[in-house]
Structure 1
Amino acid sequence: MRALLSGYYGKGNGGDEALLATLLQMLPPHVTPVVLSGNPEETRDRYGVESYDRMAFLPVLQALRSCDAFIWGGGSLIQDVTSTISPVYYGGLMALAQMMGLKTVAWGQGIGPLKRAQTRWLARKTFAACTKVSVRDRASAALLSDWQIPCILSPDPVWALEAKPVTGLTDLPAHRVAVTLRSHPQLTETRLANLTQALVKFQKATQTFILLLPFQKSEDLNIAEAIQPHLKDVSQIMCLEDPQLLKGVYRHVEMTIGMRLHSLIMAAAEGCRCFALSYDPKVNRLMEDLSMPGWDLANLPDDPNIISKVWIEHYAHGNPLSSEQIQSLVNRALMHRELLIAALEI
């Protein structure tokens, strides 16, 4: 069986690459993956899979014709807040695959927000026609329940991603703290300046080594480069493309301060204390599910001293998830694999 995988792949986003790596890890052995990517050559080289340009109509159509199944490969693909084109693109592909008679799977989805009537209609129509659906949060499950569409609710698939060790990481000074910030309208110059000052105060108080981890170079690297000069000799920018290595970093990190959803999931999965800076409902959902401390960026304190004191307190007294909690989340995330096995039976 051949399955065409569609997601935000090949765009340099560590979270979406982690979803792809997890999906490839979970596919049944009789299924040959074909991946639509923003960088097909890189995707072919990294994962050893057949890959085509996600925006090239004829190759995409030919790939669909050559496949038996189509999989929406995880994450917030069906939302119309950051992009009005995104749900039309993914929904259009799903509708085309369904018209062509392929088995269709919505896998590890985080649905919404859906503000427009047209995108809600398209989402409802395509989800309803799927062979199987799995979602990663209660709000998505509730929306599908309102639409009377059956689904499996499990934690984000990346909880179950197998991490790889990062060479040389343990040579860096001990007591490491990872920081992942991304560009966003809510991360104003003033807030970034306050976070930077707070980070400097935090580092001095804790004598930790700060790892600045861009998850998507185009969105995150310039922010890391703006922070790093304020932490000379006590920080390092670490850019990793392989999502399994990216997750492996957190095995040797004591605390994470993160905006990106998958920076927090990867860190928590590796037993790291986490502090969230939320810019999106999906991050708030994770904070709620795990009782994870943090702030909405819109409500970030104006005083760097307050920010640093809260971080210092969490570093000193906060607790990571227990090994039992992590194992439970991993086991439940593997339900996404069981759904694939059931959907893609020969």
Structure 2
Amino acid sequence: MTVIGISGSYGGLNLGDEAILTSAIEQLRAAVPGVEVVVFSRNAAHTRENHAVDRVLNPREAMKDEITPEVERLDLLLLGGGGILYDSEAQTYLREVTIAQRLGVPTYTFAIGVGPLKDRVERDAVREGLDRMTGITVREPSAKRLIEEIGVQVPVTVTADPALLLKPEPFTEEMLAEAGIPRGRPLVGLSVREQGAAAPDLTDAAYHQLLAEAADYIVQRFGADVVFVPMERADVREAHRVMGRMAVSERAHLLQYRYTPRQIIGLMDHFEMAVGMRLHFLIFAAITGTPLIALPYASKVSDFLSSIGLEPRATVSHTTAGTFLADLDRLWDHRAEQKGLLRDRIPVLMERARETAPLALQTVAPRAETAAKAAE
């Protein structure tokens, strides 16, 4: 039996990462019948309950002598996907990779994102870990550029985010009613995130005020209600801060953080437009052909916009309310055009996303053949 490990930011912390894990497991099971999937997760109970996995470990709680035997029995360890190699966290996420490489277990990145990486120690750790990889796939060109910039010699292939391959689950009218979202008026989805190590250039007041003005404009100009969609728990607090600055907050609704990625993709079908910051919020909108406008806070968002034929706009810190509201107005009037663009571009990205698993699994077959010959 083939045993494949997946290590990343899993455990219910972020819907984008959960979408990636769901997709990765589906692809592995489709490609390798009978595969045993072992996930290294930050919340083992959550992963065990919500994903079709065989074994789960929390490497942040387990000791090295507990992790080593689990890594040693793997035929392949996948790192990612998701944007996990960035300042303050990169070395932590490379822990199982380092153990695997010392044990001679092949390692492969699974359409990861990289950066920001400004700390010299983190850059050195990433370069050392990636240079010992059997292969590297990334989800965006900026990740490839950064990997090459820090001196990694292993060739890098740009594929696409695994979450693009997820199928939506219907978000029914009953679910909308249960969530307190009224019908009868157009709905526009909004996403906001907190400042953090993965988005160091954000400032609180600027983007809270900008999104509050945008939300008010959507209500007053388009006659729509706005629905804040948290992609992780911290987004709930940020949404409350934005709603607190709105003039017409009674027309704003906050979804609870309890839905699956597939359900959120299904929710996008109810939106006339999606406005926001989180990468996977935008990916979920694009999957369903929902017109979207982004407030980029990182290169990964700009890269995604470019990949679907949309011109990346200025980052949050360089965006003014006037220009953003004008862009909202323009998108509202040209929603049908963007729907057509997404209809053309998303299948292309999906095909690129399908390349990731086969590339990684090329590593498994030779290893399995070697083991079989040794047993003869």
TM-score (norm 2): 0.83
Decide whether the 8 Å contact of 2:115 with 2:146 is kept in 1.
no
Contact 2:142–2:300 (Cα < 8 Å) also in 1:
no
Which of residues 207, 211, 215 in structure 2 aligns to 1:199? 215
Deviation of the 1:221 alpha carbon: 0.2
- Equivalent in the alignment of 2:49: 45
3-state secondary structure, aligned to 2:40: strand
* 1:199 alignment partner AA: A
Aligned to 2:235: 220
2:11 aligns to what SS in structure 1? coil
- AA matched with 2:325: S
2:314 is aligned with 1:298: no
User: Which amino acid counterpart does residue 222 of structure 1 have in structure 2?
Assistant: R
Matched, 1:176 2:187: yes
1:220 Cα deviation after fit = 0.5
Match of 1:323 in 2: 343
TM superposition shift of 1:148: 3.1
Does the Cα contact within 8 Å between 2:169 and 2:265 map onto a contact in 1? yes
Is 1:14 paired with 2:15?
Answer: yes
Q: CA separation in 1, counterparts of 2:213 and 2:121?
A: 44
Q: Distance in 1 between matches of 2:189 and 2:204?
A: 21
Query: Which residue, out of 73, 76, 93, partners 2:80?
Result: 73
Distance 1:19 1:75 in 2: 7
Q: Deviations over 1:62-119 (max 9, x none)?
A: 4213423211121221121xx2xx1111223212111112121111111223223332
The within-5 A match list for 1:179-190 is 179-184=190-195, 186-190=202-206
CA separation of 1:99 and 1:211: change in aligned 2, threshold 3 A? same
Greater displacement, 219-228 / 99-108 = 219-228
Aligned to 1:135: 138
Aligned to 1:343: 363
2:24 — aligned with what?
Answer: 23
Partner of 1:308: 325
1:149 to 144, 149, 154: 154
- Supply the distance in 2 between the matched residues of 1:293 and 1:101 (Cα, whole angstroms): 42
In 2, Cα distance between the equivalents of 1:134 and 1:165?
31
CA distance in 2, matches of 1:223, 1:160: 29
The secondary structure found in structure 2 opposite 1:221 is helix
1:279-290 equivalences in 2 (<5 Å): 279-290=297-308
How many residue pairs get aligned? The number is: 339
CA–CA separation in structure 2 for the residues paired with 1:24 and 1:187: 36
Identify if the C-alpha distance between structure 1 residues 194 and 76 changes in structure 2 by more than 3 Å, giving closer, same or farther: closer
Over 3 Å counting, the alpha-carbon distance change for 1:281 and 1:52 in structure 2 is: same
Aligned residue in 2 for 1:269: 287
C-alpha distance in structure 2 between counterparts of 1:257 and 1:194, whole Å: 12
Q: CA–CA distance in 2 between the matches of 1:314 and 1:33?
A: 43
CA distance in 2, matches of 1:170, 1:15: 21
Q: CA deviation at 1:11?
A: 4.6
Are the counterparts in 2 of residues 195 and 307 from structure 1 also a CA contact under 8 Å?
A: no
User: Are the aligned partners of 2:91 and 2:126 in contact in 1 as well (CA < 8 Å)?
Assistant: no
Amino acid in the other structure paired with 1:243? P
| Contact in 2 for aligned 1:271/1:323 (Cα 8 Å) | yes
CA contact (8 A) 2:226 2:251 kept: yes
- CA 1:24–1:147 in 2, change beyond 3 Å: closer, same or farther? same
Which moves more between the two structures, 69-78 or 237-246? 237-246
Query: Are 1:35 and 2:39 counterparts?
Result: yes
Maintained 8 Å contact 1:255/1:315: yes
The answer (yes or no) to whether the contact 1:23–1:73 under 8 Å persists in 2 is no
Three-state SS of the structure 2 residue aligned to 1:295 is coil
Mapped partners of 1:237, 1:281: distance in 2? 27
Instruction: Describe the shift of the 1:29–1:132 C-alpha distance in structure 2 as closer, same or farther (beyond 3 A).
Output: farther
Q: Residue 133 of structure 1 contacts residue 152 of structure 1 at CA under 8 Å; is this kept in 2?
A: yes
Which residue identity lines up with residue 151 of structure 1 in the other structure? V
1:309-329 superposed Cα distances (whole Å, 9 cap, x missing partner) = 331221122423332211111
Q: Does 1:113 align with 2:132?
A: no
Q: What is the distance in 2 between the residues matched to 1:151 and 1:293?
A: 24
Distance 1:29-1:228 versus aligned 2 partners, 3 A rule:
farther
Per the alignment, residue 247 of structure 1 pairs with 265
Identity level (%): 25
Distance 1:44 1:201, change over 3 A: same
Residue type of the alignment partner of 1:180:
S
Q: Which residue of 2 aligns with 1:63?
A: 70
Which is greater in Rg? 2
Q: Measured at CA, do residues 179 and 100 of structure 1 come closer, stay the same or move farther in structure 2, by a change above 3 Å?
A: same
Report if the CA contact (8 A) 1:11-1:37 is conserved.
no
